[in-house]
Amino acid sequence: MDWQSDANAVKATFAPTLEGWYERHRRDLPWRHTRDPYRIWLSEVILQQTRVAQGKPYYERFVESYPTVTDLANADERELLRLWQGLGYYSRARNLHQTARYITDQLGAEFPATFAGLLTLKGIGVYTAAAVASFAFGERVPVVDGNVYRVLARVFGITEDITTTGAKKTFAKLAEQLIQHAEDPATYNQSIMEFGAIQCTPVSPDCLLCPLQQSCNAYQTGRQMRLPVKAKKAPVRDRYFNYLVFRQGDRLAMRERTDRDIWQNLHDFWLIETDEPVDALTDLVLPEEVVGLVSQGRVTGGAVPLTQLLSHQRIRGQFFLIDMPDGLPVALPAGFNWHSADEVNRLPKPVLITTYLNEGLG
DNA sequence: AAGTCGGGGAC
DNA sequence: GTCCCAGACTT
């Protein structure tokens, strides 16, 4: 059997296997006792980026307080938000209310009965539209949530980074193929998410008792823990840039940045970078090259703090202005030059420096 | 494509 | 501490 037909064989048995697994392992959850699109929609919105255990009591309280979409539409906004309190992502609650009013007022309290129709509603994206369309109306459209990414990446050995647009298309296309083999779309969608939540978990999946063990690419290649691939978003690093701004008349001491770092070829001042914030000039350890300059000069004003946010760094700038005596020439460290105000204007500079020149410089 | 929105549980 | 959760929306 060649690779192509082998992969197709796995695809064909995937949905029935999960549907069988689901029958034996499904949890008894309140939203699984209804096909009311309102209650299913409510549960899906509550469960967006939220664990079942956390969302369940909220769902029960909402159903109790607002049994129908019209009840929700007529709800007091503040009372609704109070019920939502502690769930996070509060725009979900506001969109919920807005959409309930829209359905009640504009659609005669009837939910759109198709994936495409549901997708037009505020707060309903691709996942939730698929969930409601399949669970409430039986439409054969696949849900693709965090569980599905994980299960599919492992079983089919997909190594694409799931945070990219290309990967999302890959998974959506595969999910679309897989659901064609399902006996019941709603049950299949429930089963793959339940499977991801209970069996094919992010850490220490239960591969030894897994019905897909034989056909799972990740298990067969020992890569369960490596899949799915998900790019870590680079943490925002704090950097403290303490600038000594030497001024003589209208001239400023600047240099071109040439290090392998941000702002290459742009011009800035004498920089002392620290790992921690510094309040005063006296807290800075001055390098030998500038000790003499600082002692000759006069510190003007206090520290000027300015922050610039970059993609992966937060630059906390702190500017200390030091006026040098007029008349006699002042020698600068290597790489630095005196620049007149006009020259400074024309030099390419980081936004942080320009902001300081415009707003912070006395 | 990247940023923003949250609280909580598992490790 | 990190990661992730039945994602959607804005820029």
Question: Could you read off the pLDDT of A323-335 as tens digits, one per residue?
Answer: 999 988 999 999 9
Cβ of residue A90 lies below 7 Å from strand C: no
Residue in the block written with tokens 């019905």:
A211
A100-114, A194-208, A216-230, A257-271: least confidently modelled range? A257-271
What is the enclosing helix (H) or strand (E) of A335?
none
* Sequence-distant (≥ 6) Cβ neighbours of residue A70 within 8 angstroms: A100, A104, A109
A15-19, A21-25, A201-205, A231-235: least confidently modelled range? A231-235
Q: Is the pLDDT of residue A263 over 90?
A: no
Q: Is the pLDDT of residue A97 over 60?
A: yes
Backbone angles phi, psi at A72, to 5 degrees: -65, -40
Q: Is the pLDDT of residue A234 over 60?
A: yes
Give the CATH fold of the A237-360 domain. Answer: Nucleoside Triphosphate Pyrophosphohydrolase (3.90.79)
CA closest to C1' of B8 belongs to: A54
Q: Which nucleotide is nearest to A92 (CA to C1')?
A: C8
Contact present, A324 and A246 (Cβ < 8 Å): yes
Q: Is the pLDDT of residue A152 over 60?
A: yes
Give the residue range(s) of CATH 3.90.79.10 domains in chain A.
237-360
Higher-confidence position of A186 and A304? A186
Provide the pLDDT for residue A312. 65
CATH number corresponding to A3-226 = 1.10.340.30
Share of chain A above pLDDT 90, in %: 77
Q: Which nucleotide is nearest to A201 (CA to C1')?
A: C4
Residue in the block written with tokens 């299949």:
A188
Residue in the block written with tokens 């539409």:
A73
Q: Which nucleotides of B are covered by protein (CB under 7 A)?
A: 1-3, 5-11
What is the enclosing helix (H) or strand (E) of A298?
strand A298-309
Give the residue range(s) of CATH 1.10.340.30 domains in chain A.
3-226
CA closest to C1' of B5 belongs to: A89
Contact present, A219 and A210 (Cβ < 8 Å): yes
Q: Backbone dihedral region of A121: left (phi > 0), alpha (psi from -120 to 50 degrees) or beta?
A: beta
Query: Which residue, among A145, A143, A146, has the nearest Cα to A115 in the 3D structure?
Result: A143
* CA separation for the pair A278, A241 (Å, rounded): 9
Q: Is the pLDDT of residue A30 over 70?
A: yes
- 3-class secondary structure, A44: helix
Cβ of residue A346 lies below 7 Å from strand C: no
Q: Which nucleotide is nearest to A53 (CA to C1')?
A: B9
Max distance between CA atoms of chain A, in angstroms, equals 90
* CA separation for the pair A78, A193 (Å, rounded): 33
pLDDT in tens, A253-262: 999 887 767 7
A214-218, A220-224, A272-276: least confidently modelled range? A272-276
Provide the pLDDT for residue A274. 81
What's the CA–C1' distance between A226 and B5, in Å? 28
Provide the pLDDT for residue A313. 72
Q: Name the DSSP letter for residue A242.
A: E
Share of chain A above pLDDT 70, in %: 96
Residue in the block written with tokens 């299913």:
A40
Q: Name the DSSP letter for residue A203.
A: S
The helix/strand count (H/E) of chain A reads as 15, 7
CA closest to C1' of B3 belongs to: A311
* CA separation for the pair A249, A245 (Å, rounded): 12
What is the enclosing helix (H) or strand (E) of A304?
strand A298-309
Catalytic residues of A: 44
Q: Which residues have CB under 7 A from strand B?
A: A 49-51, 53-54, 86-91, 163-166, 203-204, 233, 311-312
* CA separation for the pair A308, A209 (Å, rounded): 52
Q: Is the pLDDT of residue A3 over 60?
A: no
- Where does residue A254 rank: exposed (0-12), middle (13-18), buried (19+ CB within 10 A)? buried
The tokens for A327 are 């008349």
Higher-confidence position of A58 and A233? A58
Cβ of residue A357 lies below 7 Å from strand C: no
pLDDT in tens, A61-93: 999 999 999 999 999 999 999 999 999 998 999
b or e along A267-300 (b: 16 or more beta carbons within 10 Å of the residue's beta carbon)?
Answer: bbbbebeeeeebeebeebebeeebeebbeebeee
Average pLDDT of the residues in A115-132: 97
Q: Is the pLDDT of residue A354 over 80?
A: yes
Q: Is the pLDDT of residue A1 over 50?
A: no
Ordered DSSP codes for A235-270: PPEEEEEEEEEEEETTEEEEEE--SSSSSTT-EE-E
Q: Which nucleotide is nearest to A309 (CA to C1')?
A: B3
Query: Which residue, among A211, A112, A129, has the nearest Cα to A172 in the 3D structure?
Result: A129
Q: Which nucleotide is nearest to A51 (CA to C1')?
A: C5
* CA separation for the pair A78, A353 (Å, rounded): 45
Pairing type for strands A237-248 and A313-323 reads: parallel
CA closest to C1' of C6 belongs to: A47
Q: What one-letter code names the amino acid at A7?
A: A
Cβ of residue A48 lies below 7 Å from strand C: yes
Average pLDDT of the residues in A169-197: 97
pLDDT in tens, A286-339: 999 999 999 999 999 888 888 776 656 778 888 999 999 998 899 999 999 999
What is the enclosing helix (H) or strand (E) of A291?
helix A288-296
